[in-house]
Structure 1
Amino acid sequence: MNADLKFDFHTHHDRCGHARGTIRDYIEASIDKGLDIIGISDHSPYFASEEDQPYPHIAMGKSAFSGYVAEILKLKEEYKEKIEVLLGVESDFFPQHAEIYRSYYEKYPFDYIIGSVHQVDEVSIFHKTRWEGLSQQEKQRTKETYYQLIEESARSRMFQILGHIDAMKGFYPSFSSIETAVIDQTLKVISAHDIAIEVNTSGKTKDCGGWYPADDILERALRYGVRITFGSDAHDPERIGDDFELVKKRLKEIGFTDWVFFRQKKMQVVSL
């Protein structure tokens, strides 16, 4: 498929409570930046919660979800001559609630679902003080739990893309240097399933700088045959497609020859 195809599959908007701009704003920004495809993938509601919207600054309410899907499908049709709009969602992965989430997603014609682990031991991976006072052994166990959850998310077959698979380093850059063999095990499991990991450029906005995942993980992903895609994780229309060309160049340098996206949950391969 056309190597010049330009896309971004990880984008948010104001429904989640911590992003700026409407879905239309992101589509318009994508057209302005010359994208061929834009995926809308706002944070999933907390479907297992009894409350409609327990965390208004993190995710939309359950009652807003059908409207979210309907708006994307309407805009997909409206903009079809200018840009391809794909229906996505970034889903939290809680193993104990996976079937509840699955039952919601099966009602709608998603092009793809991004599975992201945002909590380990019931604490946000981005919680800045979660590492304080932990021994090296406890830090290693935390990292291993994180990757075991990512591995479970791959095995669940709920997702086409796994989100930011080393984002736990976001506000704790030392996370990357915690020694463990678990990442290789996780990458092998991902490779065995028909899913991709994303190069997510939002890491540059956190303390760690750079992208998710780090180059050494991408090198191992290539070795294990893991598929790759791109997402800016934009929470502002100005970040749409952020570093797309740089990511493309770096992936080629590492040795990748193609990357992928999903349309109606079917993998589409694009030459780099």
Structure 2
Amino acid sequence: MKFDLHTHHYRCGHADGDIRDYIEAAIGQGLSVIGISDHMPHLFSPLDHPIPTVAMSRLELDSYVQEVLRLKKEYEGRIDVLLGIESDYFTEHEQVYRDAIERYPFDYVIGSVHISGGKSIFDRNRWTDVPAELAIEAKRDYYRLIEASARSGMFQILGHIDAMKGYYPAFSDIPAEAAVESALRTIGEHGLAIEVNTSGGTKHCGGWYPSDAILERALHYGVSISFGSDAHKPSRVGEDFEAVAAKLREIGFKEWIYVKQRRPVSVPL
């Protein structure tokens, strides 16, 4: 059984295609489940649409939810369409995001840290001339945020948990093992999943998020695994699903999960 819980579309301002395009692509790839999970609006801002190339506007959130629900009914019997969303996590703005999440019938919410230390994790210049000790602290801060997001109770899946390596592959070698271990331990204790996200192949780091080493430690801490292509164009839906499944079996996982109505559904590997 194939599924993909992480897809975007035109509303976020940096993806191609509409929701139907991603559903049709999923059917073409033989998926049984497709999750639509575009970027939550930037609710921390007083503006409706402060960064149009990053997330949808507040005014589009209702129409996004209604469109997915309508397509869920239309495609019933052909493919299970799930209503998801990818939400940023900011400790100082937690309540406004929590309130928005609870207003809608999301099947699942992916919690992703995109901003750490006041900068995008994908900022290609944030590591320029950074001393080693500051790089270590930056990595620790990133995983502290991920751990806090796990404790928040807002999410069922945590997204791309080592994506800071996207445009800086050396991030993986920064020694901050204790922070990574603490985050994984907390994720396991709270019964959350992390996704294997195949969009790393579109960045300098190549491959997937997270690394095999993190997946091995995730298994140790009893962390569940989900799958998301993080597709920003329909042709990437389900990308590398079988290869990811093979790698997880090699590491020792016996199952992975998708999430429907906020509850995990186990799929044997």
Q: Which residue of 1 aligns with 2:172?
A: 176
Q: Give the whole-Å Cα distance in 2 for the aligned partners of 1:100 and 1:138.
A: 31
Code of the residue aligned with 1:53 in structure 2: it is H
Code of the residue aligned with 1:203 in structure 2: it is G
Q: Which residue of 1 aligns with 2:266?
A: 269
Contact map agreement 2:191 2:223 (CA 8 A) in 1: no
Say whether 1:211 aligns with 2:216: no
Q: Give the whole-Å Cα distance in 1 for the aligned partners of 2:171 and 2:143.
A: 12
Q: Give the whole-Å Cα distance in 2 for the aligned partners of 1:191 and 1:105.
A: 22
Gaps of 5+ in 1: none
Q: Which residue of 2 aligns with 1:259?
A: 256
Q: Which residue of 1 aligns with 2:198?
A: 201
Q: 1:250 aligns with which of 230, 234, 247?
A: 247
1:208-258 superposed Cα distances (whole Å, 9 cap, x missing partner):
011000000001101111100000000000000000000000000000000
Code of the residue aligned with 2:252 in structure 1: it is G
Contact map agreement 2:12 2:54 (CA 8 A) in 1: yes
Say whether 1:99 aligns with 2:95: yes
Q: 2:45 aligns with which of 22, 25, 49?
A: 49
Code of the residue aligned with 2:182 in structure 1: it is Q
Q: Which residue of 1 aligns with 2:147?
A: 151
Q: Give the whole-Å Cα distance in 2 for the aligned partners of 1:27 and 1:77.
A: 12
Q: Give the whole-Å Cα distance in 2 for the aligned partners of 1:8 and 1:267.
A: 14
1:97-156 superposed Cα distances (whole Å, 9 cap, x missing partner):
111011111111110000000011110000000011211000000000000000000000
Q: Give the whole-Å Cα distance in 2 for the aligned partners of 1:262 and 1:33.
A: 20
Say whether 1:127 aligns with 2:123: yes
Code of the residue aligned with 2:67 in structure 1: it is E
Q: 2:7 aligns with which of 4, 8, 11?
A: 11
Question: 1:266 deviation in Å?
Answer: 0.9
Say whether 1:34 aligns with 2:16: no
Q: Which contiguous aligned blocks of 4+ residues in structure 1 show a shift greater than 3 angstroms?
A: none
Q: Give the whole-Å Cα distance in 2 for the aligned partners of 1:209 and 1:175.
A: 13
Q: Give the whole-Å Cα distance in 2 for the aligned partners of 1:43 and 1:19.
A: 11
1:48-92 superposed Cα distances (whole Å, 9 cap, x missing partner):
211000000000000100100000000000001210000000001
Question: 1:270 deviation in Å?
Answer: 1.1
**Within 5 A, what are the aligned runs for 1:64-143?**
64-143=60-139
Contact map agreement 2:86 2:112 (CA 8 A) in 1: yes
Q: Give the whole-Å Cα distance in 2 for the aligned partners of 1:218 and 1:182.
A: 15
Question: Mean alpha-carbon deviation: is it higher for 160-169 or for 101-110?
Answer: 101-110
Code of the residue aligned with 1:91 in structure 2: it is S
Query: Any idea what SS the aligned residue of 1:19 has?
Result: coil
- TM-score, normalised by the number of residues in structure 1: 0.98
Q: Which residue of 1 aligns with 2:218?
A: 221
Query: Any idea what SS the aligned residue of 1:241 has?
Result: coil
Cα-Cα RMSD: 0.5
The count of residues paired between Structure 1 and Structure 2 equals 268
Question: 1:194 deviation in Å?
Answer: 2.1
Q: Give the whole-Å Cα distance in 1 for the aligned partners of 2:42 and 2:220.
A: 36
- TM-score, normalised by the number of residues in structure 2: 0.99
Identity %: 57
